[in-house]
Each structure stands twice: as C-alpha cells, then as structure tokens.
Structure 1
C-alpha cells in the first residue's frame, strides 16, 4: 500500500501566490505612507512655529520679519479684490504667476530644445564639441544679471530680453548633460547597430537618443530650476505683471509681506513643476536605477 507524502507547509514568512499579505507587511506599508506625509507636514509646522517666535520676539521690526498671520492676510488681499483694489498693481497673484510661468515655458522651452540639439551634435561630432564646448561652459558660469543689461540694450525692455535671458540660462545644463550622455553610450551598441546595416541617423535615433534620454531628462530638470532662479532677474525691468516683477516692486517699497508671498508662490510652483518633470522621467525611462 502506497502512502502519499504530506505536502510541505510553507516556511514562516514565505509568500504564496494568491495569499493575503502578512499583517506586519501591511502595517509596514501603511506606516511608510503615513511617515512620508507626516514628516513634511511636521517640518512645515516646526518652521511656522519658529517663524512666529522670531516675529514676536522683537529682535527685528515687523517690517523686516512679518508674522505668518500678516503674510496670510496679504496673500488673501493680493489674490482677490479687497476694498476696491484688485490684487497687486491691478493684477491678482494667480495672474502674476501665470504670466511668469508663460515666460518660463517659452524661454526655457527654447533653451531646452537648443540644448538637446547641440548636445546631440557635440556628442556625435568631435570637432563640433571642441568648437562649442568652451562657449557653453562660458555661458554656464555667467550669472544672469551679468548679461541682462546687455540684452536690454540690444532688445529693449519688453518681453524679448526676458525670454532670451531665460533661454540662455536654461541652455547650458541641457547641452552639457546631453553631450555627456551621448559620449557615454557604449561603443559596442553603436557597432552592433552598424553591423546590422543601420544608417548614421538610425544609430542616433534608435541607439544614441534612447541611451542618452535619462541624463537628458535630468538636464531638463536642472534647466527648469535654473530658469526659475533667473526669474526675478528676468523681470527686474518692466516685469509687471509677473511674479518676479511683483517681488521686485514690493521690495522697492519695503512691502515685506508681498515679497514673502511672491517667494512662497515661486517656490511652491517650482516644486509642483519639478514633481511633474520627475514623474515624466519615471514614465519615460522606467528602467533607470534598475538596470
């Protein structure tokens, strides 16, 4: 008589397909999500508490360090029509921010497109890299204010110098990162594509560009950050309406609450856009960090 051996029970902690996750695994996942929300929120509360303590301590006048409640009231005032006054200088905060974002989108968009093209060319053609790389490094080391006055002399005080400054500021990070990514493409991949009969353009399109995409996207994120940091400089002259122009105009009259509101608006919008770019990077190159 044959006896069927008993099935081996799974060891403790082993996962079985279709089985319900262990309770401690679920708790760990929940705690991780709570922590990711609680830590930023807690740091914000701590910052507001320290800000309030500094403001009420009397170490500085309220003109220099306004209380958080005063900044909040100013945010409400310049975001709506208050006592017959619409926003700041006749424009609400959202409208100021929207105008500046359009300037950044146009200027940084031009700089990013030019940076990708130049990066691909310099990465694939050696003599072009030798020709243009010193000039790009020269631009990368210049602060925006160093050439903004020259742009005003050449282009006037309307939109052209602002867009040009943002484009020039966004161009070097993308060009440098794309060039470095293209030159780092394994030669074996290129030789394999050529051995299969791929043309020069096919090699660039099907091998070089996908390989360089992760670093190019990182360069784009850096370029948008540089454009944001150049925003106030771009709107120094004739920047109203615009969030940077609003900050500069309010600073001229020691209107610190408006300055703080403008800085917070720039920072929060920058965080949102960087988050969107990071999500785009994860979607476009899901293999990054896993290969």
Structure 2
C-alpha cells in the first residue's frame, strides 16, 4: 500500500505540474501580453495537432505528410544515429579506458568533437555526403558517440583491480577480462552515457533536419518557422519532448533490468 501510494503521489505531482504549466500558458495567451504569433494559445496548438494528423480538403497533414510520419522519420534518424553512436562509443571508450597510449592519442580528439556544436560540422557533412539521409544520420552519430565514449572510458578506468585479480586467479584469460569483467562492472555508468547520448541526439535532430528534412519533426519545425506558424513550431517541440520522455523512461526501465544491483551494492 505504501509503494502504491508513493506511485500515485508521484504520478499526481507530474500531472499537476503539467496542468499548472498549461494553465500559465493559457493565462498568458488569453491576456494577450504578446501577439499570438509569439505566444499562440493552447487551443491553437491543439487544433494543429488534428490538422497535421489528418487529411482535409485534399491537404495531407503538414507539407504532404501526417504528423506521425514526421515523427517516425525523425525517430528513425535518431535511432540509427544513436545506435551507431552507442556501439562506436562503447568500443572506443573501452579501448581508451584500457590502453593508456590510445587514451593519450584519442582522448583529446573525443573531447574536441564533444565540444563542437552540431551546426558547426553539419555543413561539412552536406558537402561530403549530399543532402539525403547520410549526413543527417552521420550528424546524429557524431553527436551521440562522445558522451558514450567518455562515460565508458571513465567507468572502465574506475573498475577495481580486485575484480581483475580475482578473475585471473579463477582462470580467466586476458582477452576475456574486457568483456566478462570490465564491461559488466562499468555497465551502470555506460547506460548513463547512453541516456545522455540519446538526449543529445534528440537535441540535434532539428539541426540535422534543417536541410531536406521533410518528412521529419525538425523539418516540419523549420518550415513552420519560415512562415511564422508558431503553433506548428510549438506542436513539434511538444512532440519531440513527449517522445523523448517516453524513450528515456524505457532506457531507465532497461537500466533497472540490466543492473538491478545499482544503488544496492
């Protein structure tokens, strides 16, 4: 009963916070403190949700695509970029954490890429790969890789030597240690890095879809911004944020299943 009460209370607080923010938004829009092109009403955004999700008078959604098609296109790009970034980041972080020479050579490079804003090298990716899907996925890959690599490298370096000595004394071979001892021990921090990487990919998707990004939520936002359709812009931001919250919740659930001992040992 205590656990159920805590869950209900937590859900209630979240719902209350959302309703409070929606109420403030409605009040500001109703007071006309700023023109509607700056702060559209919640009702206007709600109407755009239905308009962009349906076919009316021969017009299909927004820019010829329904809202869920824009979302799925963006999620596909985010998924591919994050998948490549996570795989590359874990492999790179494992090597950086285990081999001091590699750490000295590649550590500064990873930090350098991590500090670059996405738009700084997106133009270069377009020159190299054109304006199709490749530069977009590559941009998300480059954005997602450094957080995972840094988290993995730091976690690997933090693995206690007693674990390695115990594994060797039990007959583990040298090549088995990184995969059977080091990586499982570092898994909690690696998963945190993955969550950060997926978040970075989400914040980068609008930049990735500034060029030929339709269908895509970022491309939809970009087109709406050009025509001062603020209600569509806000709708796109809300869709990205809601889907991001859902995926982060799934990652947290995965973390609890994979590392149930975290915080208990």
Query: Structure 2 length normalisation: TM-score?
Result: 0.98
CA-to-aligned-CA distance 1:239-266 (integer Å, 9 cap, x gap)? 0110100001100000011101100000
CA-to-aligned-CA distance 1:132-180 (integer Å, 9 cap, x gap)? 0000000011110111111111111111110110000000000000000
**Residue 41 (structure 2) pairs with residue 67 (structure 1):** yes
Equivalent position of 2:95 in the other structure? 121
Equivalent position of 1:134 in the other structure? 108
1:68-83 to 2 correspondences below 5 Å: 68-83=42-57
1:197-276 to 2 correspondences below 5 Å: 197-276=171-250
1:185 to 156, 159, 167: 159
159-168 or 82-91, which deviates more: 82-91
200-209 or 277-286, which deviates more: 200-209
Over aligned residues, Cα RMSD in angstroms?
Answer: 1.0
Q: Distance in 2 between matches of 1:175 and 1:30?
A: 38
Q: State the 1:236 CA deviation.
A: 0.6
Give the gaps of 5 or more residues in structure 1: 1-25
Q: Distance in 2 between matches of 1:275 and 1:89?
A: 31
Change (3 A) 1:196 1:29: closer
Query: Structure 1 length normalisation: TM-score?
Result: 0.89
2:67 to 89, 93, 97: 93
Change (3 A) 1:267 1:60: same
Greater share of helix residues, 1 or 2? 2
Equivalent position of 2:124 in the other structure? 150
Displaced runs of 4 or more, over 4 A: none
Q: State the 1:35 CA deviation.
A: 1.1
Q: Distance in 2 between matches of 1:34 and 1:107?
A: 36
**Residue 259 (structure 2) pairs with residue 285 (structure 1):** yes
Larger radius of gyration: 1
Change (3 A) 1:277 1:30: closer
Q: Distance in 2 between matches of 1:33 and 1:225?
A: 25
Q: Distance in 2 between matches of 1:187 and 1:145?
A: 42
Q: Distance in 1 between matches of 2:33 and 2:54?
A: 32
Equivalent position of 2:84 in the other structure? 110
Q: Distance in 2 between matches of 1:131 and 1:108?
A: 24
1:41 to 4, 11, 15: 15
1:169 to 112, 128, 143: 143
Equivalent position of 1:19 in the other structure? none
Give the gaps of 5 or more residues in structure 2: none
Q: State the 1:43 CA deviation.
A: 1.1
Q: Distance in 2 between matches of 1:155 and 1:233?
A: 16
